[in-house]
Amino acid sequence: MASSGATALCHLAVCWALVHRAGMGSKGAALSNAVSYGLNLAILALYVRLSSACGRTWNGFSVEGFKELRQFANLAVPSAFMICVEFWAFEIIVLLSGLLPNPQLETSVLSICLNTSILLFMVPLGLSYSVSTRVSNELGAGQPQAAKLAMRVVMCLALSSGFLLTMAMILLRSVWGHMYSNEKEVVAYIAKMMPVLAISFFIDGIHGSLSGVLTGCGKQKIGAITNLGAFYLAGIPMAVLLAFVFHMNGMGLWLGMVVCGSLTKVLLFASVAWFIDWNKEAVKAKDRVFSSSLPVT
């Protein structure tokens, strides 16, 4: 957290210097991202190298570390795929906006919507990572009821934070567009899109937390398949139908993803979470730990 905070503060200065002082414009903004990522990596690398805490948990490279790569990949690959297919779906929506009657306006507005969505999604994403760690730790410790409680707590947090941010988005809908553009047409379009974007964020917060629960239970494959079906078999086709057949343009693209994509994902994830046998998952977690434990030398 400290590393990310320091990087974020430095990013503001670097971005301003490259965009305005150096006159690089959008290229400077892109370059500032690369500089910030490199700075964050350098800070974390120095911490790992110099921290005594890291020294107590890692004694250097060993061939033993490569013995369980297959088991690791069985969890890592579906987990990465689960995240990627969702983000790619929204990127596809932005690309599709370029085919609408007024592509410059539609692409600008959908890009702002995507940027806003990603910015606010950091809240439920943090909840997702937290509950994933908590659920997996509790299951590994043989505490299934504690894992179930963690799921309930994170859902309460997701609903409460989602409600507060949703209300803020609706109240700020008339001024939010000014943060991105001086064009009156763009600002007015953003004001019209913000209530839909607010509903989208509220739904995203719920399924983001449920994603963390499934990840903590080791059900990444189910999550990946669900995302693929929800967004590419339901969300994108409905978005195309609303935008190009019913001529709802950018509003239709985003509504299609929300109504059929995100909502379908929430319903499927909630169904899976509802029928989780927590005692069985605790036994599976214990078996997984013992089967992959390395001998002490």
Question: Which residues contact residue 110 at a Cβ distance below 8 angstroms, ignoring those fewer than 6 apart?
Answer: 93, 94, 97, 250, 253, 254
Nearest one of 235, 276, 274, 275 to 252, comparing CA atoms: 235
Mean pLDDT of 177-195: 91
- pLDDT of residue 297 exceeding 50, the answer is no
Which pLDDT belongs to residue 259? 77
Which pLDDT belongs to residue 148? 93
- pLDDT of residue 296 exceeding 60, the answer is no
- pLDDT of residue 23 exceeding 60, the answer is yes
What pTM was estimated for this model as a whole? Answer: 0.83
Question: Which residues contact residue 44 at a Cβ distance below 8 angstroms, ignoring those fewer than 6 apart?
Answer: 3
* Cβ(201)–Cβ(121) below 8 Å: yes
Which pLDDT belongs to residue 291? 67
- pLDDT of residue 66 exceeding 70, the answer is yes
Mean pLDDT of 41-61: 80
pLDDT digits (tens, 9 = 90+) for 122-175: 898 899 999 999 999 999 888 999 999 999 999 999 999 999 999 999 999 999
Sign of CA dihedral 162, 163, 167, 168: negative
pLDDT digits (tens, 9 = 90+) for 265-278: 999 999 999 999 99
- pLDDT of residue 284 exceeding 90, the answer is no
pLDDT digits (tens, 9 = 90+) for 89-118: 988 988 898 898 888 898 989 889 888 988
Can you state the percent helix, strand and coil of the chain, rounding each to 5? 85, 0, 15
- Rounded Cα gap, residues 41 and 22, in angstroms: 25
The number of residues making up the chain comes to 297
Token couple for 42: 């350098």
pLDDT digits (tens, 9 = 90+) for 192-248: 999 999 988 899 889 889 999 999 998 989 999 999 999 999 999 999 999 999 999
Considering only residues 171 and 56, tell me which one the structure prediction assigns the higher pLDDT.
171
Residue showing tokens 């693929």: 228
By CB neighbour count within 10 A (0-12 exposed, 13-18 middle, 19+ buried), where does 191 fall? middle
* Cβ(207)–Cβ(265) below 8 Å: yes
Which pLDDT belongs to residue 192? 92
Nearest one of 87, 97, 121 to 232, comparing CA atoms: 87
- pLDDT of residue 292 exceeding 70, the answer is no
Give me the percent of the chain exceeding a pLDDT of 70.
96
Which pLDDT belongs to residue 102? 87
SS3 string, 80-121, reads: HHHHHHHHHHHHHHHHHHCCCCCHHHHHHHHHHHHHHHHHHH
Q: Where are the domains of the chain?
A: 1-54, 70-290
- Rounded Cα gap, residues 111 and 189, in angstroms: 12
Token couple for 71: 């088991």
